A and B are shown apart, each in its own frame.
Chain A
């Protein structure tokens, strides 16, 4: 019976995705219609360009995708204010973070001739599923958030990311935890397990466990951690689970150091855990803190919303493409050359790609929860 339910869910999910997609398509269409009408009185030489975004906008991880889209919108609204006669719009492809849906959407992305570049895919799993399609189509892409190590080992010369990969982050995290008895937990996702495995390699864990995304009761894991005598826990995964895990650990009386990676580095981590349980937790991220005025810019471009995890990286990624459009490199191959040779400083740090598409220098920062809040302004670089 559960089988029936799961199958049915999958079909239903596909149906909903299709609906969501058509909704997104409509929104994109409206935007372009607006831009078009502003455009018609302007110079005739202006082509209408679109930047595509692919990632989760709805579904369980929709919040992260919304953070990214907010960053892109911030960059676009700045650009469009300066280029009122030649606006660039974003076209969204909502994969819900699901590799299967992403591979179908990838064909829509590459068939869209107005798209000059892709921001995304958001997650490592969907990046893996779609990289080949984008590479064969020659479409340059910049992911603001996919950090799995393998992604840049595939020879996809169109694939870039403006975020340090998990290998750099995991190594730094292991260094940070040197000398402690560490219990490593991951959420079995491509990202979470990948990061946790790098940490595991960098130190000798006293115990390991693997949980599931969407899990809310961690009593068995808590029992194991307490039983292992660990004085530190490293969690590879996202804040929805890490927040609950640290909460349940503290409720069970465990007093060690809790550390997680960039998937948890979000104010929502403190909300989920509760300020008391989150206190003292350390969350690493391959990104410098956003400059003070970014929050203001973000809020004015996205009324009622605040910047979150991956917003700055998405903003930087969008600006790279916008600079490419300004330079006139609007064909796919020229745009790819532009991105590959790009060098500049974004709000998330200095950006220059190595030959594989990884960001060249990435300092990993340790953010900590102090006085009941994630201190996003003063992280300590891990050296």
Chain B
């Protein structure tokens, strides 16, 4: 309790930072749900591939040692683009292999859910076995820096140290904190504009509202679904770069816990609702930190999930309700 009042600002700000990364990942869950009413459980692996892509960029450019954000900004931007493309690509692949054949055959939603869980394991294990996969092509030595020790933690070769910028309460806000929150909010804003203002966005909303009418109006629903997966993947890739900037280390199973949290954030905010994902993510991040301070870190998930249950009991549709199709999106 003492710690809590004393370090309210530190706990809140670091919670918001983590929460904004949750929110970016939550967008992928929420968009796919909005369009297909389907929970893409493999989205956690889309995020995980982004974390690896980020680290690989730094390995590729041979960035080692210790540096500040300023010194690495160019590589960070490249990593951001690469991670977004890799995650977007994995999401597209997922749609093509694990969903489209099922949707085409009008399979029940439950089947698609199982397919997603299966895809999640395949993707995660493929990353964990990437040294063996490289060995099939005789590349395990050439690619050693990328695929070696496949099941161990894979770390960024460069250490990016945060720099204090300004102080709120007792806490010195660092450049990493600011960049994470600003970048996450910026991404979400861009997505929001895309969905609500562009022709493609109108297609997404149309399919979300009523797929059959949308098809009659000439919307190509397969395209729209592809686009939805891709956008979710882009956001997960951006989240992955921000995550690596802060944590700096990943593993083939790094997506699992993070995915559960992001999914929770999406449900808490109202699954299918873009702003809901943001709100849910931020609340979850802060609730975890406060819960940890009040009761001890072992209670943080209990606090977060009790909060989820309480919110759903009061508002079963989530804080902002479910609606990708409505004007709110």
Give the size category of A's interface with B.
35 or more
A274 interface residue per 8 A CB criterion: yes
- The reply to whether B151 and A251 contact each other, CB–CB distance below 8 Å, is no
B308 to chain A, nearest CB (A): 8
Contact of B260 among A5, A58, A59 (CB under 8 A): A5
- The reply to whether A212 and B153 contact each other, CB–CB distance below 8 Å, is no
* Closest chain A residue to B15, Cβ basis: A219
Contact of A12 among B39, B121, B140, B151 (CB under 8 A): B121
Q: Convert A37-60 into 0s and 1s, putting 1 for each residue whose CB lies closer than 8 angstroms to a CB of B.
A: 000000000000000000000111
- The reply to whether A63 and B297 contact each other, CB–CB distance below 8 Å, is no
Binds A, one of B4-12, B87-95, B206-214, B218-226: B4-12
Inter-chain contacts of B161 with A (CB < 8 A):
251, 276
B307 interface residue per 8 A CB criterion: no
* Bound CA span A295–B249, Å: 26
A252 to chain B, nearest CB (A): 9
Q: A58-B128, A63-B149 are in contact. Are A276 and B247 (CB under 8 A)?
A: no
- The reply to whether A272 and B249 contact each other, CB–CB distance below 8 Å, is yes
- The reply to whether B3 and A60 contact each other, CB–CB distance below 8 Å, is no
A307 interface residue per 8 A CB criterion: no
- The reply to whether B3 and A268 contact each other, CB–CB distance below 8 Å, is no
- The reply to whether B293 and A220 contact each other, CB–CB distance below 8 Å, is yes
- The reply to whether A227 and B263 contact each other, CB–CB distance below 8 Å, is no
* Bound CA span A212–B304, Å: 14
* Bound CA span A251–B159, Å: 10
* Bound CA span A217–B11, Å: 12
* Closest chain B residue to A251, Cβ basis: B162
Contact of B247 among A9, A214, A244, A268 (CB under 8 A): A244
Q: Convert A260-296 into 0s and 1s, putting 1 for each residue whose CB lies closer than 8 angstroms to a CB of B.
A: 0000000010011011110000000000000000000
A179 interface residue per 8 A CB criterion: no
Inter-chain contacts of B113 with A (CB < 8 A):
8
Name 21 interchain pairs, CB-CB below 8 A, sorted by A. A1-B39, A1-B267, A2-B263, A5-B41, A12-B118, A58-B151, A60-B253, A66-B151, A210-B297, A212-B301, A214-B256, A214-B257, A219-B15, A220-B14, A223-B10, A223-B289, A243-B153, A271-B152, A271-B155, A271-B249, A276-B159
Residues of B within 8 A of A (CB): 2-3, 6-7, 10-11, 14-15, 17-18, 39, 41, 66, 113-114, 117-118, 121, 125, 128, 140, 149, 151-153, 155, 159, 161-162, 172, 174, 246-249, 251, 253-254, 256-258, 260, 263-264, 267, 288-289, 292-293, 296-298, 300-301, 305, 308
